[in-house]
Structure 1
Amino acid sequence: MTTASPPRRTDPGAITRSEVRRPASLADAIRELAELGTDGAPLAGGTWVMRAPLRGAPVARVYVALDGLAELHGIRTGDDAVEIGAMVTHDELAALDAPPALAGLIEAARRSAFPAVRSVATVGGNIAAVGFPEADLVPALLAAEARVVVAGPDGERTEDLAGHLASRRERLAGELIARIVVPTPAARRSAFERLTVRGGGEYAIASVALSVDIEGATVAAARVGVGGVEEIARLSDAAAAVLVGAALDDAAAERAGQAAADECTAREGLDAPGWYRLAVLPALARRAAATLTTADDQQK
């Protein structure tokens, strides 16, 4: 079995014509990608692929289109979890009538990019896009304790999302994200906040996703996802530790945001310097927590 190392880099100014294949089933897509090896790549919504020349990123000789594969579409809601197909778009996810455990993920989908992008950008593509630290769904999925079901030549397996993100460059040829499984405990609440340079539609300078399990007035468990700050979105264990055992108020949320800032090593960028990405995390955490407490008041 070959290892899917990145295809050869392409001159951004050159016109490259890639072949696009349309398999009839997920099994066919896996087989074709495995046979193509480094010459092939999956094509989902295409929003990341079409910008490859602008990034100086490689363009594959053959793209295997996934949009026609029924196995990768649809959202299935169970008693304790929701399964989201890899080809579900941001718009489809944003329209989901889901329990509070998924509110942060739905908000991330709703506020991501522009309407034209949200209509085609996919959940699986957001996870799979290497070199895209601003991907809004990823910190929200991390906070939501999502797991990734990967389909490949040897069948399916389920992976922790953080581990999947760290190993994306070492994926075996033919492996694809099939769906994402997100637990929905009744006591779980979630929220998402992001900051951009000018307004909606732009990539986030930084984002914070909160997911908390509430017992009475106290946080019993917490997960805090941070996006846009480092090269890959991450969970902040230090921020979660601040919240557990405390009431979810402004002060606790700001302390959690500061703990996340202390734990991160921020990237530099043309949109914002590293120090600024860290400086805004306490405010983003406070705003996310305020969303949660407001939602709880509305439910009473």
Structure 2
Amino acid sequence: MIPAEFEYVRPASAAEAVSALAEAGEDAKVMAGGQSLIPILRLRLAYPTTVVDVSRVDDMRGVRDDGDAIVIGAMTTHHDVMHDALVGEHAPLIAQATATVADPQVRHRGTFGGALAHADPAGDLGAVALALGCEFVAHGSGGERRIPADEFFVDYLTTALSPDEVLTAVRVPKLGAGWSSHYEKFNRVAQAWSIVAVAALVRRENGSIAEARVGLTNMGSTPLRATAVESALAGADAGRDAIRAAAQHAAEGTHAPSDLSGKADYREHLARVLTTRAVMAASGS
């Protein structure tokens, strides 16, 4: 199909992007890599009056060290995120999940910030951002603000970004020594969206799990934290039986959708199975 008519703006800086969004009003859309937006435009699931293309905003690219966090520019491609040394050292969970995104062609064009701002609950990076406790850096007419990951995702394809704001970067806290991670994904065919996926972070002490963080992909209208699993794992033995028992709580508090890929009860079953696998892999059990 052919998209509806729209104005096209290609700013050279984040400030110019903010000005363009403010001028266009609520019916504008930001385009980063375009891997999510363009299909939606073609299907006329969105019909903005203005598309603001930020692909030329170079200061929104790259990964840098910022003391207690690493900062990933929103325009950094999935490919570059996967192969970045800082990400590999301080946030390997991001690299693990990003490696499952679509195919190499999409990973070379699609962007880290674009995928997160798109806020598809089947996307792989939202649950990872929740588990890591990321902060989203937005620039708008009122200046810069930082949005915690647990406040960023509001509803299906909806974030806390205001109409005049653009996501410029994501701050990823350095968790320090002792943490290990794993991303476990189930999809119908290779390169497809997740039916369900689990992002697991585990810190072990003296043979037990001192702390765990578990993020769920596609178990509701937004990414979710499996808080009941995290509580059950805290202080638990790192053995397989204890992990299996804790993972039985994975579907608690979720609102799994039913669609052509699977019914809600099937997704709840997958959440328990994949949480078991992800936590076991992260803890080395």
1:233 aligns with 2:232: no
Structure 1 unpaired stretches of 5+: 1-12
Report if the CA contact (8 A) 2:123-2:218 is conserved: yes
> Per-residue deviation at 1:106?
0.9
Q: Which residue of 2 aligns with 1:69?
A: 57
Residues 180, 283 of structure 2: 8 Å contact kept? no
- Partners of 1:173 and 1:205 in 2: CA distance: 30
- Code of the residue aligned with 1:158 in structure 2: it is R
Q: CA deviation at 1:286?
A: 2.2
Identity among equivalent pairs (%): 27
Q: SS of the residue aligned with 2:133?
A: coil
Matches within 5 A, 1:1-300: 15-53=3-41, 56-97=44-85, 98=87, 102-130=91-119, 132-166=120-154, 168=158, 171-184=161-174, 185-198=176-189, 200-294=190-284
* TM-score normalised by structure 1 residue count: 0.87
Equivalent residues, number: 281
Q: Deviations over 1:99-140 (max 9, x none)?
A: 56522211110011111111111111111114x211101111
CA gap of 1:67–1:36, structure 2 versus 1, over 3 A, is: same
- Supply the distance in 1 between the matched residues of 2:84 and 2:52 (Cα, whole angstroms): 28
C-alpha separation in 2, matches of 1:160 and 1:145:
7
**What secondary structure is seen at the aligned counterpart in 1 of 2:80?**
helix
Segments of 5+ residues of structure 2 without an aligned counterpart are none
Distance 2:234 2:26 in 1: 45
Counterparts of 1:83 and 1:232 in 2: how far apart (Å)?
Answer: 23
Distance verdict in 2 for CA 1:121–1:257, change over 3 Å: farther
Q: 1:56 to 1:253 in 2, by over 3 A?
A: farther
Aligned counterparts of 1:193 and 1:74: Cα–Cα separation in 2: 26
Question: 1:209 Cα deviation (Å)?
Answer: 0.6
RMSD of the alignment, in Å? 2.0
* 1:244-284 Cα shifts (integer Å, max 9, x gaps): 10133333333333212133121111111111111012221
| Closer, same or farther: CA 53–22 of 1 in aligned 2, 3 Å | closer
In the alignment, what sits opposite 1:9?
none
SS at match of 2:193: coil
Moved over 6 A (4+): none
Name the SS for the 2:200 alignment partner: strand
User: How big is each residue's C-alpha offset from its partner over 1:43-91, in whole Å with a ceiling of 9 and x where there is no partner?
Assistant: 1011111111465511212211111112211101344321111111111
Equivalent AA in structure 1 for residue 24 of structure 2: L
Mapped partners of 2:274, 2:209: distance in 1: 18
How far, CA to CA, are the matches of 1:88 and 1:253 in structure 2? Answer: 35
SS of aligned partner of 2:91: helix
More moved, 252-261 vs 277-286: 252-261
